[in-house]
Structures are given as C-alpha cells and as structure tokens.
Amino acid sequence: MDIFDGVLWHPQEIERESMRQVEEFLRPLHLPPGQKAVVGRIIHTSGDPELAGQIRFHPRAVEEGLAALKRGAHIYTDVTMLGAGINSSRLNWWGGEVHCAVHSPEVAAEAKVRQITRSAVAMERFGEKLNGQVVAIGNAPTALFVLLRMIHRGLRPALVVGMPVGFVGAARSKELLLQADVPYITVLGTRGGSPLAAATVNALLYLD
Amino acid sequence: MDIFDGVLWHPQEIERESMRQVEEFLRPLHLPPGQKAVVGRIIHTSGDPELAGQIRFHPRAVEEGLAALKRGAHIYTDVTMLGAGINSSRLNWWGGEVHCAVHSPEVAAEAKVRQITRSAVAMERFGEKLNGQVVAIGNAPTALFVLLRMIHRGLRPALVVGMPVGFVGAARSKELLLQADVPYITVLGTRGGSPLAAATVNALLYLD
C-alpha cells in the first residue's frame, strides 16, 4: 500500500469534501445565510470549529459590508499579510482595492517620534478616507483602538472586520468594538489574525 | 474615565507585556531554548496558548534550520501570504529570499491539465532546488504531500516547516511528516496556517 493512498488531489474534490465537513459544524448553529458563509469560511481557514462560538456580528454587518463592496468600497488593512489573503480579483472587479500603509517611511518616522505602533499611525493617517469603506484589522489591537477613537469622533466605515490578536489589548479592543456605533464582525478574546480577517472579507466578496 | 484608559500604545511596552504573558505559558513546558523561541512566537502570533501542546519538533530541526538560514538558504512557501509574514530584511541579510510559485501562469496551466492543486504543482516544480533549503507550508496539505513524495525519492530540504490547515488531508500529511527522514517543525491536527509557519521561520531568524 502506498502511503499516499486516499489522498485527495483534485481541487474541486478537496473543496467539496472540506465544505461537507464545515457544513456539519455549521448545521446546528442555525445562522442566517450571510453569517453562515463568514463563519464557514473562518472554520475552513482556521481548521478550528471551536472558533465559531467566538464570532460576533453587528446585525447589519453582512448587508452593509456587501453593499459597500459592491459599490466599489476599498479595504484598508493594518498589515500587508491580510491584504495578501484577500481575493483581490473579485474586489477589483467591483472597483475596490486593498490599502495598507504600515510600511510607509512617513508612518515609521511618525511612529518613532510619537512612540506608538506603526499600525496605529497608519490607521490614523487614513482618517476620513475610511468613511463608507471597509476596514479589516487582523493583527494590531492599537490599530483597532485608534479606529475606535475616530469612530467615537464621528467616522463611519461601512464595516469593521476587527480581528486583532494577542494578549495585550486584543480582547479589550474587541469588547469596545461591540459597543461602537458601526457595523462590525469580530472574534472575541485573544485569538484573531490575518487569515481570519481575510476569510471574512473573502466570504463577503463571494456572497453574491 | 476615558474608554481608552490603560491601553498600551508604546511598541516596546506592548512587546514586553506580551512576552511576559507568553513566558508564563512557556515556563511549565521546560523547552530547550530554540524550541522555546518557536513555541513562544507561535503562541504570541495565534493568541492561543493551547497550540503549544500540538507542536512537534524533529530533534535537529532548530539547529539545522538555523544553520541553513545563516548560510543563505532560501525559503520556499506554498502561499504568498506566508511570505508576506516573514521578516525578509533579516533573511536577505543572510542571503536568502522567499520564493512562491503558486501564482505563476505555467503552474496554473499545469494544474488545470493534471487536475491537481496549484500549490502541489508549484511545490513539485521547485524540485531539486529544495535540497538544503527551508520549505514552509502554511496552507495546502497537497503541497506537503508532494514534498513528502519528493523526500521519499531522496530530496533533502534542510528544514520543513509543515503547517497546512483544514479538514482534508492536513492532519494526515503532518502524521506522515513525523515519519519522514527530514528535519521538521509541525503543528498536529487540523490547525495550522500562514501566520504560524511565518512565526516559526521568524523565530529562527531571530534566534541568533
């Protein structure tokens, strides 16, 4: 017997079998279709069905996020890795692009002077450009804190995918996001990450 | 009281507090220094201390991986997102670069004809170039299966960071990696992902 017996190689077969297994995890959750697509893709991406219990949706999140993307909204991210995970051909088709400023020299210089993270500076510098757009945060709690401060001052992104990760500020930033007056999708607690945020955006891009 | 009271903004303070918390999770594990650095960075990246119990090291993995990187080994990945997470300035300093062929048109064409995944074709086409290099897989089990087949036929990467994710083949591919005659670092089961694989590589890049 070959050790590779039973391995699935065909992309559609792999996809179908994966979807079948994810569907089994989703069935008992009885989610509305849009939320189901997002949760399914997060489980698929993470290989971890237990994450489902940590995902929270603002009631209008899927609807407003999808509407924004369809009218060509851009996606602003805190880290380049997140952008690399987004299906940009679909996004570009609708007119949107992914933006991330964390590696800009101006951002690095300002962050150094102010002694705050580059992710926070990069998000802050986007400023009013974020109105009506999609913001996806997959790494830095400080980027989400800065965004929340701008939202408290009147900024209105169409959707915040708030999934920073880690032991310093991530859980707290996501608790504050739940109370903010903005459509959000988040994963509570210390877990999160670029693949989860990218999966969320990709689920929306493929909803239609 | 401001809702942002107590938020840490200073990058070094955040790093220090995070490391302090990760250190608490690591202490009871009594790992050798190199493995400790890898496990710590995976916990830090994932926000999930429970992953520590799933990580497995070939006894020479850290030593051989680090030695290869220091002599300028390249890193071959299955997905671009993984490359985006690698600290390439440190890698480039030693002479290495990140390579990923999954988006090449030739790979797409061959994958279509053979009805296998692009990740598998991309890995297979690297072929003998992988001898003595570091291979990092953060997404596709088929890329790891193909690599394992090449290893069975005599290929010898310096290190395989094998962390594909999902419900179809990921757990199985990692079980086979444990039995392969090659230095490896892996996360057992269905979980894995680009950030974990990138964290592993970055831990090695910063070991010295």
User: Which pLDDT does position B157 carry in this prediction?
Assistant: 98
User: Which pLDDT does position B3 carry in this prediction?
Assistant: 81
Nearest CA in chain A to B167: A18
User: Which pLDDT does position B4 carry in this prediction?
Assistant: 86
Instruction: Report the pLDDT averaged over residues B173-179.
Output: 98
Annotated active-site residue in B10, B30, B44, B58: B44
Instruction: Report the pLDDT averaged over residues A76-94.
Output: 94
Residue B40 domain-assigned (yes or no): no
Do residue A10 and residue B85 have CB atoms under 8 angstroms apart? no
Instruction: Report the pLDDT averaged over residues A174-190.
Output: 97
User: Which pLDDT does position A1 carry in this prediction?
Assistant: 57
Q: Among B194, B196, B204, B205, which residue's Cα sits nearest to residue B90?
A: B205
Q: Which residues of A touch B85 (CB under 8 A)?
A: 81, 194
Residue A101 domain-assigned (yes or no): yes
Residue B101 domain-assigned (yes or no): yes
Of the candidates B80, B85, B145, the beta carbon closest to that of A7 is on B145
> Between B84 and B2, where is the model more confident?
B84
| CATH number of domain containing B159 | 3.40.50.10230
Query: Which of helix, strand or coil describes residue A14?
Result: helix
Q: What's the rounded Cα separation, in Å, for the pair A54 and A98?
A: 26
Q: What digits encode the pLDDT tens for the residues B136-169? A: 999 999 999 999 999 999 999 999 999 999 999 9
Do residue B7 and residue A169 have CB atoms under 8 angstroms apart? yes
The answer, yes or no, to whether residue B1 has pLDDT greater than 70, is: no
Q: What is the ipTM of this complex?
A: 0.89
Average confidence score pLDDT of chain A: 96
Do residue B7 and residue A193 have CB atoms under 8 angstroms apart? no
Nearest-Cα distance to chain B for A4, in Å, is: 8
Q: Which domain holds residue A129?
A: 54-206
Instruction: Report the pLDDT averaged over residues A40-46.
Output: 96
Instruction: Quickly state the pLDDT bin for A180 (edges 50, 70, 90).
Output: very high
Do residue B10 and residue A120 have CB atoms under 8 angstroms apart? no
Residue A200 domain-assigned (yes or no): yes
State the virtual CA torsion across B76, A195, A118, A65 in degrees, nearest 10: 140
Residue A197 domain-assigned (yes or no): yes
Of the candidates A17, A166, A195, the beta carbon closest to that of B194 is on A195
Nearest CA in chain A to B149: A4
Rg (CA), chain B: 18
Do residue A190 and residue B48 have CB atoms under 8 angstroms apart? yes
Residue B43 domain-assigned (yes or no): no
Count the domains in chain A. Answer: 1
User: Which pLDDT does position B29 carry in this prediction?
Assistant: 96
Residue B129 domain-assigned (yes or no): yes
Q: What digits encode the pLDDT tens for the residues A125-144? A: 999 999 999 999 999 999 99
Q: What's the rounded Cα separation, in Å, for the pair B201 and B192?
A: 14
Instruction: Quickly state the pLDDT bin for A109 (edges 50, 70, 90).
Output: very high
Residue A116 domain-assigned (yes or no): yes
The answer, yes or no, to whether residue B133 has pLDDT greater than 90, is: yes
The answer, yes or no, to whether residue A6 has pLDDT greater than 70, is: yes
Asked about B99 being catalytic, the answer comes back as no
